[in-house]
Chain A
Amino acid sequence: MSKQLIVSSSPHAHSGTTTSKIMWTVFFSLVPAAAYAIYLFGLPAATVLLSTIVFCIVFEGLTNYAMKKPVSLKDGSAALTGLILALTLPPGLPVWICGIGAFVAIVVAKSVFGGLGQNPFNPAMTGRVFLLIAFPAPLTRWLVPSGTGDTLFGKNVSAFDAAGNLVDAGSGNVDAITAATPLGLLGEEGAKAVSGLDTSSAFLIGNINGSLGETAAFILLAGGIFLLIRKIISWHIPVSFMAAVAVIAGLTNLANPEQYAGALFHLLSGGVIIGAWFMATDYVTSPMYNKGKLIFGSGCGILTMVIRLWAGYPEGVSFAVLLMNACVPIINTYTKPKKFGLQQLGESKEAANA
């Protein structure tokens, strides 16, 4: 008689897709974009990436220990949060600010709610928005890509020394060279400042300044489509998100081309691509049903455009995603389909009453 027969409840077969496999697949789908950011910005980008990921893993381990929970590092969710958070930060951000962002993302936005699966708000987005509000100056100091000359998009670049003071670009103690992002220009000076940009090759291949993950739109898009093919995400959220952005941008641009930039510019600048494909699609903080995903995605797109066009911030993806995260429970409630066999039951009841 065998001593090792395992008795367990059915089913006895499994698809083989596990949570950690999903997390690491998403992680690796973002690696090319991260590598491109390092190529573009060099060491300042690498520092932000590495420090944010390491901080996230450390905080995850510490909260596991403090809450006496099994160590959950293997599932890859902490590393993924770190990578996504880093991609929303500007290159050259001081390491200690990255650490605070990681703390807010992992401890405040996730662990206090009960860890993976329990958080109502996207942890990386929460971390980024916290930093944006708490440290507005460092969070909006955009390094220019290496190899940029004295001007970017027709504007003079600014040079800073190590202490953060504006200095002459030709002086010996330049620590960082920055410029406004395309969205920043648009916000300040209107569509004329960025006209022609959306067809320039530098813009299309992502040779622009911005957050680590705001530059390489097509590399990010490839990563997102990879996830779609691997059936990690469905098309509903990214497509409705991008469609809402494109429609609003297109209509406003038609109405007033002087003030409003076109659809392609809005889709490829800022965080729309990474937001639509990698942040809004976070399982935990997005709706479960396909109809709900369409509502959620278009809501994210609409809010992004409202913030970009008519609010104080030049970029609104992270705010939009967080605001829509708050709507997820109610979206789930109202998009839940009727269970199998309910329609007929209703009919037969009516028939019985008649």
Chain B
Amino acid sequence: MRVQTFKGGIHPNYNKSRSEKAAIECVAAPKEIIIPLSQHIGAPAKACVEKGDMVQKGQVIGEAGGFVSAPVHSSVSGQVTAVEPRPGALGVDVLCVVIANNEQNEMAPLKGLENWKTADKETLKNMISEAGIVGMGGATFPTHVKLSPPAAKPIDTVILNGAECEPYLTADHRVMVEYAEDVVEGLQIIRKILGAQNGYIGIEVNKPDAIAAMETACKGTDIKVARLEIKYPQGGEKQLIEALLKKEVPSGGLPMDVGVVVQNVGTAKAVYDAVTKGIPLFERVVTVTGSAVPKPGNFMISIGTPVSVVLAHCGVDLDTAGKLILGGPMMGFAQYSAAPPVTKGTSGILVFDAKDVTLVPPVACIRCGRCLHACPMRLVPAEIAAFSECRMYDKAEEFDAMDCMECGSCAHECPSQIPLVQKIRLAKQEIMAARRKKG
């Protein structure tokens, strides 16, 4: 069968073998849970509990702070011990609700729909919004916003992203294998809300068991399971649309500009849980792997569990580790401590031995062109980075710095090991700052 893909991109070492066969294992929530109020793109949630309050599992503890926002729920039952800033995954402190887990697992009253097919679109959308569902591939964009396109942009196609092109990560893979029917049902709910005729599930061919599971679950539906070439960043929204539909999302535009909505497979499962069982997003599947992880695997982890607790469960000795990354190796964030909690967007926790982590000083650009051949957006990363280096941010903008999605393909290929993404990111921030100044 035909394997589809996009132009550009790279072939990194995938390193998925250590965890791809490991069934999802539940990790008990620790004594203390730290739940950030901002786990998504958009306005932070507003705390609606105070120190001393008793909370139940699944209870709202932070209300959405606007339309582009999402509520936050407790993942345990217990008592709120603090609402205060704690270390977050981006290196700065974020406002968190800290809960002492009473280990009673007292559930908040949750109610799903017995038959979602008879429910109207608004009801379904509200359930998703109230469940606090955000994009679980890592971008954490509130899902209900994606499901509310303006009337001028009708959506005809929903694509579920099961590419999981980031090396090391296998969480989506396991979700597709173990929750195939939930994922497909979630896709059908999303299609109903958007009125989309077409449904696709795109999966890289290095996950044959996931493709088989999805094809079985899709029997009797009109959903197409598409095989994708093993290439990074195959799971980028725009690349996935290019691969499956041969359409380019306009520069500066969104998938809805070509009538498409892309959702992660994990998000589809969360949608299913929210609509049919009323369960809000308070736990997720996280891949824990890397050379410094003696017991790698895929784990169902309560949101708010400190990374250190997960690492202890996997037998990691952080004293000998060289690097700790939240997310994948291509776009994840390196951490200086294991104190931050697992959030809705944490798809992976990677720990590498010190010997596997080297910081090489960059050498001169030799204009080999590897970066521009790797760039899926057809930019010239080396040039943008050079302008950024010289603080010529207006020139960087002219060379389309804002089209960069920071996938890291260029820096992965750069033989001179120039931190291209870091420099382009700086240029993007400066360009945004200049635009805000102009108004």
List residues of A whose CB falls within 8 A of some B CB: 1-15, 17-22, 72, 75, 77, 115-118, 283-284, 288-289, 336-345, 348
The smallest C-beta distance from B318 to any residue of chain A, in angstroms, reads 4
Query: Given A11-B329, A341-B251, A341-B253, A6 and B334 touching (CB < 8 A)?
Result: yes
Which of B12, B365, B366 has its CB near the most chain A CB atoms (within 10 A)? B366
* B378 touches A (CB below 8 Å): yes
Is there contact, CB below 8 Å, between A348 and B257? yes
What residues of A have a CB within 8 angstroms of the CB of B160 in the complex?
none
Choose one: A2, A283, A339, A345; the contact of B366 (CB below 8 Å): A283
The smallest C-beta distance from A286 to any residue of chain B, in angstroms, reads 8
The smallest C-beta distance from A325 to any residue of chain B, in angstroms, reads 12
Choose one: B253, B335, B369, B422; the contact of A5 (CB below 8 Å): B335
Residue of A nearest to B249 (CB): A341
What residues of B have a CB within 8 angstroms of the CB of A12 in the complex?
323, 325, 329-330, 332, 334, 350, 352
Q: With the chains together, A72 CA to B416 CA distance in Å?
A: 12
Count B-side interface residues using an 8 Å CB cutoff: 69
Is there contact, CB below 8 Å, between A283 and B368? yes
What residues of B have a CB within 8 angstroms of the CB of A118 in the complex?
364
Q: With the chains together, A338 CA to B324 CA distance in Å?
A: 38
The smallest C-beta distance from A50 to any residue of chain B, in angstroms, reads 26
What residues of A have a CB within 8 angstroms of the CB of B321 in the complex?
2, 4-5
The smallest C-beta distance from B132 to any residue of chain A, in angstroms, reads 26
Q: With the chains together, A165 CA to B198 CA distance in Å?
A: 86
* B250 touches A (CB below 8 Å): yes
What residues of A have a CB within 8 angstroms of the CB of B238 in the complex?
340-341
Residue of A nearest to B317 (CB): A2
Query: Given A13-B13, A341-B403, A348 and B325 touching (CB < 8 A)?
Result: no
* B357 touches A (CB below 8 Å): yes
Is there contact, CB below 8 Å, between B363 and A340? no
The smallest C-beta distance from B311 to any residue of chain A, in angstroms, reads 10
List residues of B whose CB falls within 8 A of some A CB: 10, 12-13, 91, 167, 238, 247-253, 257-258, 318-325, 327, 329-338, 350, 352, 354, 357, 359-360, 363-370, 372, 376-380, 400, 403, 406, 408-409, 411-413, 415-417, 419, 421-422, 425
The smallest C-beta distance from B141 to any residue of chain A, in angstroms, reads 19
Interface SS of chain A: helix, strand, loop or mixed? loop
Is there contact, CB below 8 Å, between A2 and B412? no
With A9-B334, A10-B421 given, name 8 new contacts (CB 8 A). A4-B322, A5-B335, A8-B323, A12-B332, A13-B412, A283-B369, A340-B376, A340-B378
The smallest C-beta distance from B347 to any residue of chain A, in angstroms, reads 14
What residues of A have a CB within 8 angstroms of the CB of B372 in the complex?
288-289
Query: Given A7-B335, A9-B419, A13-B12, A337 and B378 touching (CB < 8 A)?
Result: yes
Is there contact, CB below 8 Å, between B408 and A341? no
Is there contact, CB below 8 Å, between B251 and A284? no
Q: With the chains together, A18 CA to B368 CA distance in Å?
A: 11
Is there contact, CB below 8 Å, between B258 and A14? no
Q: With the chains together, A41 CA to B213 CA distance in Å?
A: 68
What residues of B have a CB within 8 angstroms of the CB of A283 in the complex?
366-369
Q: With the chains together, A1 CA to B324 CA distance in Å?
A: 12
Is there contact, CB below 8 Å, between B412 and A15? yes
19 contacts between A and B (CB under 8 A): A2-B324, A3-B319, A6-B334, A9-B422, A9-B425, A11-B411, A12-B332, A14-B411, A14-B412, A22-B415, A75-B363, A116-B364, A283-B366, A283-B369, A339-B251, A340-B376, A340-B378, A340-B403, A342-B250
Residue of A nearest to B407 (CB): A11
The smallest C-beta distance from B379 to any residue of chain A, in angstroms, reads 6
What residues of B have a CB within 8 angstroms of the CB of A340 in the complex?
238, 248, 251, 376-378, 403
What residues of B have a CB within 8 angstroms of the CB of A1 in the complex?
318, 337-338
Is there contact, CB below 8 Å, between A344 and B248? yes
The smallest C-beta distance from A60 to any residue of chain B, in angstroms, reads 13
Choose one: A7, A72, A339; the contact of B378 (CB below 8 Å): A339
Residue of B nearest to A231 (CB): B370
The smallest C-beta distance from B349 to any residue of chain A, in angstroms, reads 13
Q: With the chains together, A116 CA to B366 CA distance in Å?
A: 7
Is there contact, CB below 8 Å, between B334 and A7? yes
Which of B318, B330, B415, B425 has its CB near the most chain A CB atoms (within 10 A)? B415
Query: Given A5-B323, A8-B359, A344-B247, A17 and B334 touching (CB < 8 A)?
Result: no
The smallest C-beta distance from B243 to any residue of chain A, in angstroms, reads 13
What residues of B have a CB within 8 angstroms of the CB of A288 in the complex?
367, 369, 372, 380
The smallest C-beta distance from B239 to any residue of chain A, in angstroms, reads 9
Residue of A nearest to B369 (CB): A288
What residues of B have a CB within 8 angstroms of the CB of A2 in the complex?
318-321, 324, 337
The smallest C-beta distance from A120 to any residue of chain B, in angstroms, reads 11
What residues of A have a CB within 8 angstroms of the CB of B252 in the complex?
341, 345
Is there contact, CB below 8 Å, between A6 and B330? no
Residue of A nearest to B333 (CB): A10
What residues of B have a CB within 8 angstroms of the CB of A7 in the complex?
91, 334-336
What residues of A have a CB within 8 angstroms of the CB of B419 in the complex?
8-9
What residues of B have a CB within 8 angstroms of the CB of A117 in the complex?
364-367, 416
Is there contact, CB below 8 Å, between A5 and B336? yes
What residues of B have a CB within 8 angstroms of the CB of A345 in the complex?
250-253
The smallest C-beta distance from A61 to any residue of chain B, in angstroms, reads 16
Q: With the chains together, A343 CA to B378 CA distance in Å?
A: 13
Is there contact, CB below 8 Å, between A342 and B332? no
What residues of B have a CB within 8 angstroms of the CB of A344 in the complex?
247-250, 253, 257-258
Choose one: A10, A19, A72, A337; the contact of B415 (CB below 8 Å): A19
Which of A13, A19, A116, A117 has its CB near the most chain B CB atoms (within 10 A)? A13
Choose one: B13, B329, B338, B421; the contact of A9 (CB below 8 Å): B421
Is there contact, CB below 8 Å, between B324 and A5? yes
Residue of A nearest to B12 (CB): A13
Query: Given A4-B354, A11-B412, A345-B253, A339 and B377 touching (CB < 8 A)?
Result: yes
Choose one: A6, A116, A341; the contact of B357 (CB below 8 Å): A6
Residue of A nearest to B426 (CB): A9
What residues of A have a CB within 8 angstroms of the CB of B421 in the complex?
9-11
Q: With the chains together, A344 CA to B127 CA distance in Å?
A: 35
What residues of A have a CB within 8 angstroms of the CB of B354 in the complex?
4
Q: With the chains together, A18 CA to B419 CA distance in Å?
A: 13
Q: With the chains together, A13 CA to B232 CA distance in Å?
A: 12
Q: With the chains together, A133 CA to B400 CA distance in Å?
A: 45
What residues of A have a CB within 8 angstroms of the CB of B330 in the complex?
10-13
Residue of A nearest to B327 (CB): A10
Residue of A nearest to B416 (CB): A19
Query: Given A4-B354, A7-B335, A341-B250, A15 and B12 touching (CB < 8 A)?
Result: yes
Is there contact, CB below 8 Å, between A5 and B250? no
Residue of A nearest to B410 (CB): A11
The smallest C-beta distance from A139 to any residue of chain B, in angstroms, reads 29
Is there contact, CB below 8 Å, between A341 and B248? yes
Choose one: A5, A13, A19; the contact of B337 (CB below 8 Å): A5
What residues of A have a CB within 8 angstroms of the CB of B335 in the complex?
5, 7
